[in-house]
Structure 1
Amino acid sequence: MDTKASDCHTIGGFFNIDGKKLQRQYKDSLSDFQAWEHKEHAKDYLLFPENIGPKLSIDETALSKGELYTIITNKYSRGKQGSIVAIFSGTKVEPIIEKLLTISSKTRSKVKEITLDMANSMKKIVTKCFVNATQVTDRFHVQKLVNEALQDIRIQERWNASDIENNLILQAKKEGKQFIPIEFDNGDTAKQLLIRSRYLLTMDPSKWTTNQMQRADILFNQYPLIKQAYNVAQNLRIIYNTTTVKEVAYTKLAHWYNDVMKINLKQFGTVINTMQINYKTILNYFDNRSTNASAESFNAKIKAFRAQFRGVRDIDFFLYRLTKLYA
């Protein structure tokens, strides 16, 4: 019933019934929501210790109006029933640790590996509550950090190009002339080139279309710093994709680190510092090649579930339906 009731408006439309009334009827009478054992504290936390397994993921997601929730999921459940281990309102460390420690140490000791992002709060939670678990920094968060540094360089160049173009337009007006921007061989102006290159910089060159290849050639010729940064991002992706031995990964990442230091791009300063702080958990990825993909996939399901209801008005009832499906 819970799956079918997930969209009362649609069901109501089939039977010419008011969807809102059907939803209220389901909430108040047809479901066991009113007697739900977690109802009193659902907005603050939900715990399902029976779903704990050897491999977990911890991540955060927004349920309503940007309000963040911390969610722990079981990787082996693959986004199906038994996936949700815990849901906490907010990201504050102390209340989350307090509730997780109510689970027996024997149950928590079952956890052997947890994937997480590079947030300090996540590390504190895992370190305190799952002492036997190896922490693995999600590779996609590392690559995202590098890609953001690359995009920052592109955006900076875009603003510079916009300033130059605006000054030329003003100068042409003063002189009573018509401004005609310079176009490259593919028809892009400098500003258009930098705007339209956003997505190709996130892709492997083998996946570029003919137009993207031409645009990339022009972009890299005009902006060598962007080319350097792109090569750095690609080299990191190659290390992650092709390396299976932890010791080899350590050596390759050390060489990659030196290459980044040589080109001396200020946008990569944060990247370097973050990787220095997290290098041990970053290297743990190469033991089992575990990622937070299951957590990200589960977050996508939550967003789709949320969209189906056109937002979350009643958080308690939303969490009830969510846990009925996935806990």
Structure 2
Amino acid sequence: MGSFFAVNGKKLQRQYKDYLSDFKEWKEKKHAKRYLIFPENLGPYLSLDETALSQGELYTIITNKKAKGKKGALVAIIAGTKAEPIVKQLLKIPSSLRNRVKEITLDMAFSMKHIASKCFPKAIQVTDRFHVQKLAIEALQDLRIKHRWDAIDKENEQLQETRQKGRPYLPELLSNGDSHKQLLARSRYLLYKAASKWTKKQSKRAEILFKDYPDIHQAYSLVNNLRNIFNKTKDKGVALTKLAHWYKEVEETGFKAFNTVVNSIKQNYSTILKYFHNRSTNASAESFNAKIKAFRSQFRGVKNIEFFLFRLTTIFA
């Protein structure tokens, strides 16, 4: 905009901040870094999540699903993820408003559940299915990474051996032109997706990967089976039975990371199964976080947190 009007961009930004906007008169400016609450934006269906604004500093954000990421979406943004300070601020909202909340989606963190229980006691808590699936995907990626480190070690040993013999090193290439190290590195993104969404090159790479590393294929099947429970099951009781079968599959594989996933699901199964009532997810919160990141990158980072929050609340609160 500065170049369009032939004005220095930084000067224009300063002019907007100090004179054109209402930032200097903003009532919430004194406590903006610690908390911002908008009780008028409360709705019956909320999302609770966390995001980083600047240099990894986390903020807890509550959004109203009905607003669909537009004006009125932001209910609260509070510094940190520690439960008690957040509860203290949210309890300032009249209980008559907080008791109207029927459902709140959140991740598996105990602090988030504590916040929801204390501040929205009449709301049903639903653990976001995508956080559950993310745990399983991380277990799969953990297996891939272990194999990749082994491949790197093997390649380094072969390289050293050929050098000692005075010969040039020629890595073993697979049918698609990848070395084992490259195959494992380049398979990262295809393992996030269902096989139906692979490109031709990804399908070829997956075929080679699963042939050479059958345990990765087995782990990928576990991830897909868990995904299908959420995608294809509508009844809570059926879902519980399918999860029990999935636990057995995991137990038979002996994958330690997946056993950790099973234990996490068991600890949160009551709130995970509530997904099947309304199929509610934290997608709105993730979408809102993406908007914050886009807003942050548009302005090349956050130099002034108060001013960033001022612009954020002007648009979304």
* Deviation readout 1:208-231 (Å, 9 max, x if unpaired): 222222211111111111011000
For residue 274 of structure 1, the aligned residue among 260, 264, 271 is 264
- Does the alignment pair 1:59 with 2:14? no
Partner of 2:62, secondary structure, is strand
CA contact (8 A) 2:250 2:259 kept: no
Structure 1 unmatched runs, 5+: 1-10
Partner of 1:13, secondary structure, is coil
Aligned length: 317
For residue 125 of structure 1, what is the aligned residue in structure 2? Answer: 115
Partner of 2:27, secondary structure, is coil
For residue 283 of structure 1, the aligned residue among 260, 270, 273 is 273
Residues 148-163 of structure 1: pairs in structure 2 closer than 5 A: 148-163=138-153
Structure 1 CA distance for aligned equivalents of residues 37 and 169 of structure 2: 64
For residue 205 of structure 1, what is the aligned residue in structure 2? Answer: 195
For residue 6 of structure 1, what is the aligned residue in structure 2? Answer: none
Structure 1 CA distance for aligned equivalents of residues 156 and 10 of structure 2: 53
Residues 4-15 of structure 1: pairs in structure 2 closer than 5 A: 11-15=1-5
Structure 2 CA distance for aligned equivalents of residues 217 and 268 of structure 1: 23
* Deviation readout 1:78-131 (Å, 9 max, x if unpaired): 000100100101111111001111111110011111111111111110011100
For residue 302 of structure 2, what is the aligned residue in structure 1? Answer: 312
The runs of 4+ residues in structure 1 deviating greater than 4 Å are none
Give the alignment's TM-score, normalised by structure 1: 0.94
For residue 39 of structure 2, what is the aligned residue in structure 1? Answer: 49
- Does the alignment pair 1:104 with 2:94? yes
Residue identity in the other structure for 1:77 = A
Structure 1 CA distance for aligned equivalents of residues 20 and 200 of structure 2: 57
Structure 1 CA distance for aligned equivalents of residues 2 and 193 of structure 2: 44
* Deviation readout 1:162-199 (Å, 9 max, x if unpaired): 11111112122222333322222222221111111111
Structure 2 unmatched runs, 5+: none
Task: Single out whichever of 208-217 and 139-148 deviates more from structure 2.
Answer: 208-217
Partner of 1:12, secondary structure, is coil
For residue 293 of structure 2, the aligned residue among 284, 295, 303 is 303
For residue 170 of structure 2, what is the aligned residue in structure 1? Answer: 180
CA contact (8 A) 2:45 2:104 kept: yes
For residue 76 of structure 2, the aligned residue among 77, 80, 86 is 86
For residue 226 of structure 1, what is the aligned residue in structure 2? Answer: 216
Residue identity in the other structure for 1:324 = T
Structure 2 CA distance for aligned equivalents of residues 21 and 180 of structure 1: 57
Structure 1 CA distance for aligned equivalents of residues 129 and 221 of structure 2: 18
For residue 85 of structure 2, what is the aligned residue in structure 1? Answer: 95
Structure 2 CA distance for aligned equivalents of residues 315 and 277 of structure 1: 37
Q: How much does 1:20 deviate?
A: 2.3
Partner of 2:268, secondary structure, is helix
For residue 167 of structure 1, the aligned residue among 149, 153, 157 is 157
For residue 260 of structure 1, what is the aligned residue in structure 2? Answer: 250
CA contact (8 A) 2:45 2:65 kept: yes
Structure 1 CA distance for aligned equivalents of residues 45 and 296 of structure 2: 26
Task: Single out whichever of 53-62 and 173-182 deviates more from structure 2.
Answer: 173-182
Partner of 1:299, secondary structure, is helix
